[in-house]
Amino acid sequence: MKTILGGLWRGLAILLGLFLLYQVWIFAHVLWWIDHNPSSSAFMQAGLARMQQARPDAALRHKWVPYENISIHLKRAIVAAEDGKFLNHEGFDIEGIQTAVKKNLKKGRLVAGGSTISQQLAKNLFLSSDKSFVRKGQEAVITLMIETTWSKRRILEVYLNIIEWGDGIYGAEAASRRYFRKSAAGLTAGQSAALAAMVPNPRWYEDNRASRKYKRRIATIAARMRYAQVPK
């Protein structure tokens, strides 16, 4: 019996050690990316793998651009669409989480997350799109790491440069070139609202930009943009 218990404790100790090493590995990346730009993300790697299953020579469209080279309209559109309280919270929107919890309890499964831009960034950089309570817990830990060490400007800059905007399209510059044949710096308010409207389901919206759902979403974002506050 003692041998069995000793083995269980050793196994638990090993698992705990591996978990802590993983957290250290993540935090080291978070610290490095304070002033170094990530060249890829977990979502980008997953997207490339998915594309290469059908086309082995497939490649992502992605080009990093600094914060000052992204249109102020797109910054406002993204904040208006994804996280209106971005500048005022420390990574979590409590009211949004409470609303999401009510939806999840009603459905009996995880269908909503109440995610902020910081949470979405944590997920995009390190995790998968799977919906589970374990993944949400890890997302929360990474969000705290990012919010503790990065400025809001840096958070929004990285977010705008890595999120998906269509099949194999990542970041504001690639999206702007793909849909409007111009740089991200030159996006108008209307174009920015159109791009921000795609973020929740970019591959679907890429092929359904004439849908009523998409147009209604653009109109809603455009109406909110003037009130959106973004880092300078």
- In the chain, which stretches have pLDDT less than 50? none
pLDDT score of 97? 72
- CATH architecture assigned to 38-225: Orthogonal Bundle (1.10)
- pLDDT, residue 129, reads 84
Domain chopping of the chain, boundaries = 1-32, 38-225
Residue 201 and residue 14: Cα distance in Å, rounded?
39
Report the predicted TM-score, pTM, of the whole model to 2 decimal places: 0.89
Nearest to 44 by CA among 123, 111, 114: 123
Contacts of 214 (CB under 8 A, 6+ apart): 197, 198, 205, 208
pLDDT at 132: 85
pLDDT of residue 10: 78
Q: What is the spatial distance between Cα 186 and Cα 96, in angstroms, rounded to a whole number?
A: 32
The CA distance from 105 to 41, in Å, is 31
pLDDT at 45: 97
pLDDT digits (tens, 9 = 90+) for 196-214: 999 999 999 999 999 999 9
